[in-house]
Structure 1
Amino acid sequence: MNMPIVDTTRSFKPKSEALSILIERGFLHQCTDLEALDAKLSAGPVTAYAGFDATSDSLHVGHLLPMMAMRWLQKTGNTPILLMGGGTTRIGDPSFRSESRPMLDQDQIATNIEAIRATVERLFDTGPKGAQIVDNAEWLTDFRFLEFLQDFGAHFTVNRMLTFDSVRARLEAHQPLSVLEFCYMMLQAVDFVELAKRHDCCLQVGGSDQWGNIVNGVDLGRRAGRQLFGLTLPLLTTASGSKMGKTNEGAVWLNAERLSAFNFWQFWRNTADGDVIRYLKLFTELPMSEINRLAQLQGEELNEAKRVLATSVTIIVHGARAAASAVEQADALFNGNNIDETKPTHYLALGDLAKRLGLLELLVKTGFATSNSEARRLVTSGAVRLNNRIEMQENRFISEGDIQVGNQLTLSVGKRRRALVAFV
């Protein structure tokens, strides 16, 4: 079954509130049947799901996009299901990966799910009639191998699965693709049908790399006599072409234990000018009228939009109190008015020194620069001070001699931005 790819540039005027919002704010990339989905949403509330495997004890910014789409679905009267991959995590999704994922034991998966659940519960109304959190281990672990093959195996052809971009890319790169991973797309399709049976779920929302897996589920549902829909979201890249949410330090985590609310706020505050308005549409719930007002700002005034973006996203992910604290810390730090000059603003591991921590890397870690190239420009322009002394050597490394009382050092950029870094 060939699913049509939606051209989001065509003049399609949805009747449903949910689809109108998703299209206006830039969430739509592909849809299996846009007009039929619009009619379904117009006829009354639907149940939709997005799935998250428990490969870590925290979700990251890449997962925030589908969760924002699901929040809009909930706000327009629909029911979200947040599917935890307690079963599929044991297998591994091959989608656009160059190598297999490490296998996790059941205890680690359970620990990860609990941590992810805490994040999800902050982002959604999970009351009696609210969002549901479901674990696909509920049904996947009950399948016996021969029964599974008998019930579902005939509905999937190897020929077709080999045409999926995620599979073909691995094979063309001569990377191994295990039978476990190859079966993952079957399991995800079964998830969709099981959720349809158990919760009358008719819509799956996922990233653009999930298109093949989602289409499999829609097709399997059709064979079972159910009309299911798939909607994928755009793969986000920054204005410079890099993958959004990746920094020199790795993923931008949603769990405060992995990334502090302040550093999370700072990530969004450092958004490139060309990305601000698009991110305001996708990652905040500000009215479009306010976003359009912010879109008129130019030059230095655009910093207002960046602060609004950073604060709005931090409120959604970490709560209003954590966001207010992050703003207060940022104002104190960047205005040169530290509330407590003895209180560190950043903590780094002592082991970083042993790994030859460079000045450029330190500027990135403290949020004063978003990349080594930006940090290099700051240094060579004479804007950087280390322990109140100007540093203009871009290849400068931090040594034990730079560490002052309390295992601390001061770092500043210009006259207004200052950090007190403690090594612990």
Structure 2
Amino acid sequence: SDAPNAAEMVNNYDWMKNFSFLDFIRDVGKHITVNYMMAKDSVKKRLSGESQQGMSFTEFSYQLCQGYDFLHLYKEKNCRLQLGGSDQWGNITTGTELIRRTAGGEAYALTCPLITKADGGKFGKTESGNVWLDPRYTSPYKFYQFWLNVSDADAEKYIKIFTELTREEVAALVEEQAQNPGARPLQKRLAKEITTMVHSAADYEAAVEASQILFSNHAGETLRKIDEATLLAVMEGVPQFEVPRSAISEGVKLADLLTETAAVFPSKGEMRKMVQGGGVSINKEKISDPYAPVSADMLLNDKYILVQRGKKNYFLLHVAD
């Protein structure tokens, strides 16, 4: 941007790559005492026994590296303020102290509380089970499911942070949740608002539709429409069988495919009984003939077949070339 206040992206490797270790401890390390570094809460917690791992020299000295980054940006870019999460307070203030001691200048730190989950874990990219804004890493369906499945306490907190709902709207949802927690109005509205904001209204509608696949008896059309990534996300945890493409060819019967090629049923007799009782579906459509021919028309995304045995048992056949 050519705006007068345009942001500038810099890489600290540019000013650290030629900085030798000896030069660093001579020119930077001498200005900060070990006592000062040990007084940081982040260091004290690691050394007080709260962590069984202890603290490596790399972690201990990291605050000097980050502090020097602030000093460099202060000198070269007139940077006076560093922002970050509250866990970065110690590292940022080491920078303000370096600036005061070496340049006699003033600089400032501004931190905000970390977003945490109900179990106290950080909400960050290094934590497991979190979501990305990029659909390549978290599909809209998984993104929607993440927010839909947060705890009541997290839902009440996140809806205030991540959505643009008014205070009155949030208060009404909190009251509704208290009256009928089983309906989970907070989670549903949170999932809707943030999935629509980050992805799109169409992606949100598709995610809602996809989430009903395993619970609806009329989801055959939806299965045909969803993309492969969403299909696999919905079927995560469902037992899968890999079958050769030759198994989806003229002359092969469903009973052969689902007993001999993929052990969905232990025997053709058991499959036949369940089919007669209306308990077997292919791609959410009930079948009436266990010996019906298998065809390529059954394939979802040209490579998958969803088999339902009874009310709750699903199997996904993956056709490999």
Q: Please, what TM-score do these two structures have when normalized by structure 2?
A: 0.60
Q: Does 1:216 align with 2:98?
A: no
| Structure 1 residue 229 displacement after superposition | 2.1
Given candidates 34, 37, 43, the residue that maps to 1:161 is: 37
Q: Matched residues in 2 for 1:192 and 1:413: separation?
A: 60
Aligned to 1:319: 199
Deviates more, 1:261-270 or 1:219-228: 219-228
Aligned residues with identical type, % of pairs: 30
Summarize deviations over 1:52-78 as a string: whole Å, max 9, x none.
xxxxxxxxxxxxxxxxxxxxxxxxxxx
Residues 345-424 of structure 1: pairs in structure 2 closer than 5 A: 345-347=231-233, 406=304, 408-410=306-308
Counterpart secondary structure, 2:175:
coil
Summarize deviations over 1:231-251 as a string: whole Å, max 9, x none.
24145131xx352549xx923
Given candidates 265, 273, 292, the residue that maps to 2:152 is: 273
Q: Matched residues in 1 for 2:34 and 2:309: separation?
A: 57
Asked if the contact 1:409–1:420 (Cα under 8 Å) also holds between the matched residues in 2, the reply is: yes
Asked if the contact 1:245–1:251 (Cα under 8 Å) also holds between the matched residues in 2, the reply is: no
Deviates more, 1:266-275 or 1:306-315: 306-315
Closer/same/farther in 2, CA of residues 260 and 221 from structure 1, 3 Å limit: same
Asked if the contact 2:147–2:191 (Cα under 8 Å) also holds between the matched residues in 1, the reply is: yes
Aligned to 1:15: none
Counterpart secondary structure, 1:229:
strand
Asked if the contact 1:346–1:421 (Cα under 8 Å) also holds between the matched residues in 2, the reply is: no
Residues 153-302 of structure 1: pairs in structure 2 closer than 5 A: 153-171=29-47, 172=49, 175=53, 177-223=55-101, 224=103, 225-234=105-114, 236-238=116-118, 241-243=119-121, 245=123, 250-254=128-132, 255-298=134-177, 299=180
Counterpart secondary structure, 1:230:
strand
Aligned to 1:50: none
Aligned to 1:341: 223
Q: Matched residues in 2 for 1:282 and 1:413: separation?
A: 39
Q: Matched residues in 2 for 1:210 and 1:177: separation?
A: 16
Counterpart secondary structure, 1:346:
helix
Q: Matched residues in 2 for 1:412 and 1:202: separation?
A: 65
Given candidates 14, 21, 25, the residue that maps to 1:149 is: 25
Q: Which amino acid aligns with 1:194?
A: H
| Structure 1 residue 134 displacement after superposition | 2.9
Asked if the contact 2:116–2:122 (Cα under 8 Å) also holds between the matched residues in 1, the reply is: yes
Asked if the contact 1:205–1:233 (Cα under 8 Å) also holds between the matched residues in 2, the reply is: no
In the comparison of the two structures, how many residue pairs are matched? 243
Aligned to 1:305: 186
Q: Matched residues in 2 for 1:222 and 1:292: separation?
A: 46
Asked if the contact 1:207–1:234 (Cα under 8 Å) also holds between the matched residues in 2, the reply is: yes
Asked if the contact 1:186–1:216 (Cα under 8 Å) also holds between the matched residues in 2, the reply is: yes
| Structure 1 residue 268 displacement after superposition | 0.5
Summarize deviations over 1:101-137 as a string: whole Å, max 9, x none.
xxxxxxxxxxxxxxxxxxxxxxxxx784444433222
| Structure 1 residue 209 displacement after superposition | 2.5
Summarize deviations over 1:321-368 as a string: whole Å, max 9, x none.
xx53133231353273533334563356899869xxxxxxxxxxxxxx
Deviates more, 1:281-290 or 1:210-219: 281-290
| Structure 1 residue 258 displacement after superposition | 2.5
Deviates more, 1:202-211 or 1:164-173: 164-173
Q: Matched residues in 2 for 1:192 and 1:222: separation?
A: 11
Aligned to 2:267: none
Aligned to 2:15: 139
Q: Matched residues in 2 for 1:333 and 1:174: separation?
A: 41
Alignment RMSD (CA, Å): 4.1
| Structure 1 residue 300 displacement after superposition | 5.4
Closer/same/farther in 2, CA of residues 183 and 291 from structure 1, 3 Å limit: same
Unaligned ranges ≥5, structure 1: 1-125, 355-385, 389-403
Summarize deviations over 1:246-296 as a string: whole Å, max 9, x none.
9xx923131322221210111011122222221012222334343334333
Asked if the contact 2:141–2:210 (Cα under 8 Å) also holds between the matched residues in 1, the reply is: no
Summarize deviations over 1:370-415 as a string: whole Å, max 9, x none.
xxxxxxxxxxxxxxxx977xxxxxxxxxxxxxxx98454459999x
Q: Matched residues in 2 for 1:307 and 1:410: separation?
A: 27
Unaligned ranges ≥5, structure 2: 242-278, 282-297
| Structure 1 residue 228 displacement after superposition | 1.3
Asked if the contact 2:63–2:91 (Cα under 8 Å) also holds between the matched residues in 1, the reply is: yes
